[in-house]
Chain A
Amino acid sequence: MQIIKDKAIVDDDWPVIRELESSDPIPEGKAILPLAYWQANRDQLLKNNSEHAVWIDGSVETGELLDDLDHFSIIALDFPAFKDGRSYSHARLLRERYGYKGELRAIGDVLRDQLFFMQRCGINSYVIREDKDINDALNGLNDFTIRYQAAADDAVPIYKLR
């Protein structure tokens, strides 16, 4: 599968496991797990000593992840619909307040015209919806050259440049 990561189209082999009961066996190989599954099977997963990834939805309190951030290669943020903007706040909190340095990945209803905003909130990889052209979506990262406000990227409030 191809995704956009760090402004380029790359191959990726991290599947998102959308549904998994806490009592289900640990999936083989790479997998982006539901947060609840990670929480229920944390000790076992850590023993496996492999790379870990979880996905969260908009209703999660990002502070819950605080003690585990160093374990994750990827935190995927779910956008169940284009208009659901909760994960933009999650992304900024994870980057700016909790200092998460790993990959932040947008999953779900992810389309070209959100990418500029997502990037500014600290999301650096994007699983573009299957029916859309990923090459076209890549253009969405460059819609604007000027940013008025500071966010999780390197922008400062614009007046500081004036």
Chain B
Amino acid sequence: MYKYDSYDQTIVNERVEQFRDQTRRFLAGELSEDEFRPLRLMNGLYIQRYAPMLRVAIPYGLLSSKQMRMLAHIARKYDKGYGHFSTRQNIQYNWPKLETVPDILAELASVEMHAIQTSGNDIRNTTSDQFAGIAEDELEDPRPYCEIIRQWSTFHPEFSFLPRKFKIAVSGAQRDRAAVQVHDIGIYLVKNESGEIGFNILAGGGLGRTPYIGPSIKPFIEKQHLLSYLEAILRVYNRHGRRDNIYKARIKILVNDLGAEEFARQVEEEWNHIKDGVMKLDQKEIDRVRAYFTPPEYDPAAAEDTSFESGLESNQAFSNWANRNLFPHKIPGYKAVVISLKAPDIAPGDATDEQMDYIADLADQYSFAEIVVTHDQNLILPNVKQSDLYALWEKLTEKDLATPNIGLLTDMICCPGLDFCSLANAGSIPIAKQINEKFDNLDYLHDIGEVKIKMSGCMNACGHHHVGHIGILGVDKKGVEFYQLTLGGSSEKDASLGDRLGPAIAKEEVANVIGKILDVYVEQRQLDERFLDTYRRVGMTPFKERVYADN
């Protein structure tokens, strides 16, 4: 993984001192609440419902075991012993004290981490494919480009006061596991007709109140032009994005108002001015960053193992877990292991300090000391030898980290909701709990197969409800929590926005309604058809009729 050199380290160290002084000035009354707000937000610090919330960047989701231990240490020392992994591959602490945040940042800097631009109207943490570097369907590892973007976007002097927040995702695989099409800028690594690898650039995707799938505005651009092209997009957006209305300030509104073609034309015009200047990337730099992501020393004899097969045959629980929580690896004899943070009795995406330390130890022992945070709020040990899988599964089981539910109904994406967030209209975590209580039969869940439930406690859509196979949106009706369901969303290559099921439903009915939806699916499905595909084939009517039959 990427290692800081003295330049990278100096920048995060200076940031700690800058923020320490900003915090001091605020506490001394030299900065007003309003003046401090944008400064703390650029450092991921929110003032939430009960306490401040600090969001720490995990660039493209990649952590070393040493960094994971630091996250555990911070949870223990400065918070209430846990952290929440978010859909953008970051971690959030819900209970730090404002005065201690500079010290937390200093601790993070000691392991090459930071909270820079994890909030605010700036360029956020660049996210990527959780299986980057190991997926069989990968054209090229996207992480070097994420790192190049991270450095370019860090304290960018022109783009630190954008009309609104700005999110970039990069994927290098056939299958899109990074929700690329619903980002402000989405980037796919692609091969052109002459076999050269470059980028397909999408702009103007996003969720929130007005969801859009981002159109491609540059189907192929050479690698050397990556940063100049991004700079051109940002400049057009910074100058022309709306600033009069916070709900219309994202780039998606600008792209939609201008039309993708006209927006692309303006970007092209801007880009022509700068593309051959200092922004042009050297191949030397691309090679330098790529060298940090070379594969570890895999065991060439790993595939000779037979213990994995016999474990599958002899132990049903292991086999269930292996079925759901393992992901194929491009190296024979290796698997990626998904550690479920969706045990029935915890808030989705939460991990305790003890679990984090434990996972760090497992990463050291079994996976070259690396851990990946996923867009679905789980963790991954990316490089596990199949001969180690049984022992690893036993160890994960001990700490409640082996729930065999990856991709299933209970592997929900869920925002913090009304329990923590000051924006929320309704609870998300209690609904997750309700769903877990109703659907506690593993055989049923495995029979239903892949269903992605995504849940947001308000229309800001942090839980990506628009692109859930089943989306759940919390709404407030005269002080009472109701839930609006959508069906048929997807954030993958076949991206689509979910369709509204009908009138919002009462809180205590959510799991029951999902049960009815699944009944219709079971009746209508053909062969191995997934829920999403059945929905796309039969449409909304049978679902709607069943759910609202009594009305």
Question: A residues engaging B (CB < 8 A)?
Answer: 58, 82-86, 88-89, 92, 97, 111, 113-114, 116-121, 133, 136, 143-151, 156-162
**Could you mark each residue 1-44 of chain B with 1 if its beta carbon is under 8 Å from any beta carbon of chain A, else 0?**
00001010011001100100010000000100001001100000
In the complex the two chains form, is A82's CB within 8 Å of B14's CB? no
A74 to B159: give the CA distance in the assembly, Å.
Answer: 24
Q: With an 8 A cutoff between CB atoms, is B399 at the interface?
A: no
Q: With an 8 A cutoff between CB atoms, is B239 at the interface?
A: yes
> In this complex, what residue of A is CB-closest to B148?
A159
Q: Which residues on A sit within 8 Å (CB–CB) of B243?
A: 58, 84, 86
Q: With an 8 A cutoff between CB atoms, is B154 at the interface?
A: yes
Q: With an 8 A cutoff between CB atoms, is B536 at the interface?
A: no
Most buried by A among B162, B235, B243: B243
Q: Which residues on A sit within 8 Å (CB–CB) of B159?
A: 85, 88
* 7 additional contacts (CB under 8 A) given A86-B238, A97-B273, A149-B152: A85-B161, A86-B243, A113-B39, A121-B158, A144-B18, A148-B151, A157-B152
Please provide the 3 A-B residue pairs with the shortest distance between their CB atoms, ordered closest to farther.
A85-B161, A120-B157, A159-B285
In the complex the two chains form, is B235's CB within 8 Å of A89's CB? yes
> In this complex, what residue of A is CB-closest to B121?
A83
Q: With an 8 A cutoff between CB atoms, is B312 at the interface?
A: no
23 contacts between A and B (CB under 8 A): A82-B35, A82-B161, A83-B38, A86-B238, A86-B243, A88-B161, A89-B239, A97-B273, A113-B22, A116-B157, A117-B155, A117-B160, A121-B157, A143-B18, A149-B151, A149-B152, A149-B156, A156-B278, A157-B227, A157-B285, A158-B7, A161-B7, A162-B5
**Could you mark each residue 199-235 of chain B with 1 if its beta carbon is under 8 Å from any beta carbon of chain A, else 0?**
0000000000000000000000000000100000001
Q: Which residues on A sit within 8 Å (CB–CB) of B154?
A: 148
In the complex the two chains form, is A146's CB within 8 Å of B151's CB? no
| Total cross-chain contacts (CB, 8 A) | 100
Contact residues, B139-198 vs A (CB, 8 A): 151-152, 154-163
In the complex the two chains form, is B278's CB within 8 Å of A150's CB? yes
Contact residues, B256-299 vs A (CB, 8 A): 273, 278-279, 282, 284-285, 288
Task: Pick from B11, B30, B156, B288: contact of A162, CB below 8 A.
Answer: B288
In the complex the two chains form, is A85's CB within 8 Å of B7's CB? no
- With contacts A82-B38, A159-B285, A159-B288 taken as known, whether A146 is within 8 angstroms of B157 at the C-beta atoms is no
Min distance, Cβ A75 to any Cβ of chain B, angstroms: 16
Task: Pick from B152, B161, B288: contact of A148, CB below 8 A.
Answer: B152
Min distance, Cβ B224 to any Cβ of chain A, angstroms: 12
Q: Which residues on B sit within 8 Å (CB–CB) of A161?
A: 7
Task: Pick from B11, B160, B282, B288: contact of A85, CB below 8 A.
Answer: B160
Task: Pick from B39, B235, B279, B282: contact of A150, CB below 8 A.
Answer: B279
Q: Which residues on A sit within 8 Å (CB–CB) of B160?
A: 85, 88, 117
Q: Which residues on B sit within 8 Å (CB–CB) of A145?
A: 10, 14
Q: Which residues on A sit within 8 Å (CB–CB) of B162?
A: 85
Min distance, Cβ B211 to any Cβ of chain A, angstroms: 25
A149 to B151: give the CA distance in the assembly, Å.
Answer: 8
In the complex the two chains form, is A92's CB within 8 Å of B18's CB? no
A161 to B238: give the CA distance in the assembly, Å.
Answer: 29
In the complex the two chains form, is B157's CB within 8 Å of A151's CB? yes
A157 to B155: give the CA distance in the assembly, Å.
Answer: 13
Task: Pick from A89, A118, A119, A148: contact of B11, CB below 8 A.
Answer: A148
Q: Which residues on B sit within 8 Å (CB–CB) of A58?
A: 239, 243
Q: Which residues on B sit within 8 Å (CB–CB) of A150?
A: 278-279
A146 to B284: give the CA distance in the assembly, Å.
Answer: 21
A157 to B158: give the CA distance in the assembly, Å.
Answer: 15
A43 to B161: give the CA distance in the assembly, Å.
Answer: 37
Most buried by B among A113, A116, A156: A113
A79 to B282: give the CA distance in the assembly, Å.
Answer: 35
> In this complex, what residue of A is CB-closest to B161?
A85
Min distance, Cβ A26 to any Cβ of chain B, angstroms: 31
Min distance, Cβ A34 to any Cβ of chain B, angstroms: 20
